[in-house]
Amino acid sequence: MAQKITPNLWFNGNAKEAADFYASAFPDTTVNVTSYYPKTAEEGLADFQKDLAGQVLTVDFTIKGYTFTCINADSTFKFNPSISFMVNFDPSQDEQASEHLDALWDKLLDGGEVLMNKDEYPYSKKYGWLKDKFGLTWQLMLTNPEGEPRPFIIPNLMFSGANTNRAKEAIDYYVSVFTDGKMGTQAPYTQDTGPAKAGSLMFADFQIGGQWFAAMDSGVEQDFTFNEAVSLTVICKDQDEIDYFWEKLSKVPESEQCGWCKDQFGVSWQIVPENMDELMKRPDAFAKMMEMHKLVIADF
C-alpha cells in the first residue's frame, strides 16, 4: 500500500546533505531528488527562495520502505523534540537487533547530542533519545519481542507547554478524521507528573492512514511545542479528498499557504493531490501554488 502520510522535514539549505547522511546511517535506505526550484527568481519565488533558484527543492529518503521528504529551505523553522521518530529494533525479527541499535546510535550521534542516555528502562532493555547534527530527534528502542509487532519507524508527537494533557484528545480527533483510524496501546500516568496530570498519556500509539504514530504528554516542563519544521503530508486522490482533509485539519487561518495548514493542536500538515508531480510541470505552476492557500487542482 502506498504511504498515505509522509513526514516533511525543513532544512536550512542542506536537504540533500541531510538525506545522504541518513542514507549512510540507516541500512536499506535510498535517496531520490524529487523536485527543483524554478530556474529564475521571477517564477513566483518567495524572497527567501530567490537564492535557491534552480537548486533542489525536495529530496526523499526511504528507510526500509518508509519515506521522508526533505524540504530545502531557510532557517525560519528549527527542529525540536515535539516530533521525534522512534526506531524499533525487534529481536524476534533481527537476531542482532541490539548490536544494530548500537551501530545506528553511534552514527546518528556523530555531531549530535544525547537527550536521554542509552540504557535499560522499565519499558525497554535498551532505549535512548538523541538529537542528530541537523537537530532532528530520534528514539532508538529495543522492543519486547513478545509484544504486538510495530513498524521500524514511528513518528512520535510530544504534547508540551499549553498542549500538555491533550494527547488523548488529539489521538481521538485524528482517529475520527481518518476513516481507518484506530487506537493502539495506551499507558496513562498513574499520578500527577510535572505538568502531566494523572490519567493523561505517558505513551500511546494509534493508526491513521494505515500507518502507526505515537503520542505522549510531557511529564516535565518544556520550552518548545509543534512547529512547521516537521509537517505531515497527506496524499489525496482528488479534490474532494483535499477539501475533506483541509476542512478537518486547517484550524489556524494565518498558517494556510500553498497546501500547508495547522490543526488545533499546532501540528502542521500539507494536504496535496497524488498527481502533484504532474501538476508542478504545468506552466507557471510554482507561482500559482505560492498564491494558493488550499490547493485547488483545477487552478493549476
**What are the tens digits of pLDDT across the range 26-77?**
999 999 999 988 887 667 777 777 888 888 999 999 999 999 999 999 999 9
pLDDT at 101 over 70: yes
pLDDT at 140 over 80: yes
Average pLDDT, the chain: 94
- Mean of the pLDDT values across residues 78-84? 98
Domains of the chain: 5-78+227-299 (3.10.180.10), 83-217 (3.30.720.110)
Residue 42: per-residue pLDDT: 65
Residue 98: per-residue pLDDT: 96
Range of lowest pLDDT (138-147, 166-175, 193-202): 138-147
Residue 48: per-residue pLDDT: 75
Residue 200: per-residue pLDDT: 97
Distance CA 266, CA 225 (A): 8
pLDDT at 288 over 80: yes
Residue 46: per-residue pLDDT: 76
pLDDT at 281 over 80: yes
Residues 114 and 91: beta-carbon distance below 8 Å: no
Backbone angles phi, psi at 129, to 5 degrees: -125, 125
Residue type, 97: A
- Mean of the pLDDT values across residues 232-236? 98
3-state SS of the chain?
Answer: CCCCEEEEEEECCCHHHHHHHHHHHCCCEEEEEEEECCCCCCCCCCHHHHHHCCCEEEEEEEECCEEEEEEECCCCCCCCCCEEEEEEECCCCCCCHHHHHHHHHHHHHCCCEEEEEEEEECCEEEEEEEECCCCCEEEEEECCCCCCCCCCEEEEEEECHHHCCCHHHHHHHHHHHCCCCEEEEEEECCCCECCECCCCEEEEEEEECCEEEEEEECCCCCCCCCCCCEEEEEEECCHHHHHHHHHHHCCCHHHCECCEEECCCCCEEEEEECCHHHHCCCCCHHHHHHHCCCCCHHHC
- Mean of the pLDDT values across residues 188-212? 96
Residue 156: per-residue pLDDT: 98
Residue 146: per-residue pLDDT: 76
Residue 100: name the closest of 156, 141, 146 by CA: 141
Distance CA 91, CA 97 (A): 5
